[in-house]
């Protein structure tokens, strides 16, 4: 099951089909608690925060059709998100406040929003209530920045096997950028913030790895396979075989 959130609705077509595609498998989840904010933060991406490191990539952003970053749970597992009993909301943040990939020559100048979507694979559970996720590109093509968040109100519980943020770069086709090697800023990372109320204290991680739940078709095949094994054993017994 796929859940897709569209942050910007204007899409621009382009002839090229090339894309920057980054796939990251997370094997550890970083966790912290802030008494001053009375909230926990669980990082599913970002080495500085105790999770998977961000990759470097080389590209000319005016010659690419799209940018796609996918964060995946380990094989056989899902990300399970369960808010604390005293939670007033959950936020999936795509930056702190920005997740930046920077190439040589970036001057910190103006940047443009590009059409962006967020997709969850294998999503089930509580639906989000708002979405402000987006990707911006600086006007010299020397930096790419993910920012914004997706929010859940009140108590929430949900699971998913991967989350992707995708930017349509086709509106940059006439910019004439040069190729650059884009390195992640130290603070790059995606995190779930669990906002709490009541007494101070760390309730523990809101995000953990949970054994993946097989899809209905897989369950059906497993059941059918067991019936075949049982039927074969019964046939051998009737024939007097071992």
pLDDT at 219: 35
Same domain, 25 and 87: yes
Per-residue pLDDT band for 95 (boundaries 50, 70, 90) equals: confident
Average pLDDT over residues 184-195: 90
Same domain, 132 and 227: no
Query: What is the spatial distance between Cα 93 and Cα 90, in angstroms, rounded to a whole number?
Result: 10
Same domain, 13 and 111: yes
Distance linking the first and last C-alpha atoms of the chain: 44
Same domain, 144 and 63: yes
Query: What is the spatial distance between Cα 181 and Cα 239, in angstroms, rounded to a whole number?
Result: 69
Q: Which of 45-54, 116-125, 134-143 has the lowest mean pLDDT?
A: 45-54
Average pLDDT over residues 71-78: 95
Q: For the chain, what is the domain count?
A: 2
Q: Is the pLDDT of residue 236 over 90?
A: no
pLDDT at 215: 59
Same domain, 203 and 93: yes
- Cα 6 → chain centroid: 14
pTM of the model: 0.80
Same domain, 177 and 238: no
Per-residue pLDDT band for 241 (boundaries 50, 70, 90) equals: low
Same domain, 174 and 89: yes
Structural domain including 218 reads 214-242
CB 92 within 8 Å of CB 132: no
Q: Which of 12-16, 118-122, 161-165, 176-180 has the lowest mean pLDDT?
A: 12-16
Same domain, 221 and 156: no
Query: What is the spatial distance between Cα 167 and Cα 40, in angstroms, rounded to a whole number?
Result: 29
pLDDT at 3: 37
Same domain, 110 and 223: no
Average pLDDT over residues 196-201: 90
Same domain, 160 and 220: no
Q: Is the pLDDT of residue 232 over 60?
A: no
Same domain, 159 and 231: no
Q: Is the pLDDT of residue 174 over 60?
A: yes
Strands 149-153 and 66-72: what pairing?
unpaired
Same domain, 7 and 124: yes
pLDDT at 13: 32
């Amino acid at each position: 099951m796929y859940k897709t959130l569209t942050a910007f609705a204007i899409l621009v077509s382009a002839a090229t089909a090339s894309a920057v595609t980054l796939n990251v498998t997370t094997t550890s989840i970083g966790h912290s608690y802030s008494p001053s904010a009375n909230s926990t933060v669980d990082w599913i991406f970002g080495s500085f925060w105790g999770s998977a490191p961000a990759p470097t990539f080389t590209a000319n952003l005016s010659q690419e059709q799209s940018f796609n970053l996918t964060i995946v749970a380990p094989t056989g597992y899902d990300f399970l998100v369960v808010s604390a009993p005293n939670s007033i909301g959950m936020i999936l943040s795509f930056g702190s406040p920005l997740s930046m990939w920077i190439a040589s020559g970036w001057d910190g100048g103006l940047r443009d929003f590009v059409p962006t979507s967020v997709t969850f694979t294998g999503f089930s559970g509580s639906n989000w209530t708002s979405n402000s996720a987006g990707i911006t590109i600086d006007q010299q093509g020397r930096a790419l920045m993910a920012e914004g968040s997706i929010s859940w109100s009140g108590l929430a519980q949900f699971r998913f096997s991967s989350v992707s943020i995708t930017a349509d770069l086709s509106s940059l086709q006439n910019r004439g950028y040069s190729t650059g090697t884009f390195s992640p800023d130290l603070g790059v990372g995606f995190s779930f913030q669990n906002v709490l109320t009541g007494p101070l204290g760390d309730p523990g991680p809101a995000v953990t790895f949970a054994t993946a739940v097989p899809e209905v078709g897989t369950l059906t095949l497993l059941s059918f396979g067991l019936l075949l094994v049982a039927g074969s054993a019964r046939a051998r017994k009737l024939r007097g075989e071992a």
